[in-house]
Amino acid sequence: MSHPRTAKYKEYDVPRGTILLVNSWAIHRDPKVWDDPTSFNPERFEGKEVETHKLMPFGMGRRACPGSGLGQRMVGLALGSLIQCFEWERISGEKADFSEGTGLTMPKKKPLEVMCKSREIVHKVLQESDKNIGLHPIIL
């Protein structure tokens, strides 16, 4: 059986071989999909499953990211470790500017410059590891 040359989706005729790109940037900011879409409000996800076609940081379907499980665990772990092990302070005292710059990986327009100081717990852990396996701590 031969394949049709054009597929129909809603009012669109899509010729065979067309590359379709999903604009997840726009979907993630669509006020028809999200309340107050541009506010940073992680509580909006608390205690509920989000429908997969609304939130797709890892893509969806057959070519979705196979590293999503690892990615999500690593982000939580890295962020948790940075908060648990260091005290953070802004340098300028101004509020952080989260405006987007240009580029594929959504860089910030203005880099955030901060100072960090290792917490007491880090010194303890490093001293312990020094005793146990002879490592020489460099963060002190």
Stretch (H or E) spanning 3: none
Query: Which residue from 65, 82, 112, 121 is in contact with ligand HEM, where contact means CB under 6 A?
Result: 65
Of 43-51, 61-69, 98-106, 126-134, the window that binds ligand HEM (rule: CB under 6 A) is: 61-69
45 Cβ neighbours under 8 A, 6+ residues apart: none
**How far is residue 92's CA from residue 114's CA, in Å, rounded to a whole number?**
8
Q: Does 75 bind ligand HEM (CB under 6 A)?
A: yes
Token representation of residue 137:
């701590």
Single-letter code of the amino acid located at 109? K
Q: Cβ(14)–Cβ(7) under 8 Å?
A: yes
Give the per-residue contact string, 6-35, with ligand HEM (x = CB under 6 A; - = no): ------------------------------
Q: Does 66 bind ligand HEM (CB under 6 A)?
A: yes
Size of the site for ligand HEM (CB under 6 A): 11
Residue 116 pairs in a beta bridge with 88
Residues of each annotated binding site for heme? 65
Q: Does 59 bind ligand HEM (CB under 6 A)?
A: yes
Q: Can you give the binding site for ligand HEM, defined by CB under 6 A?
A: 57-59, 63-67, 70-71, 75
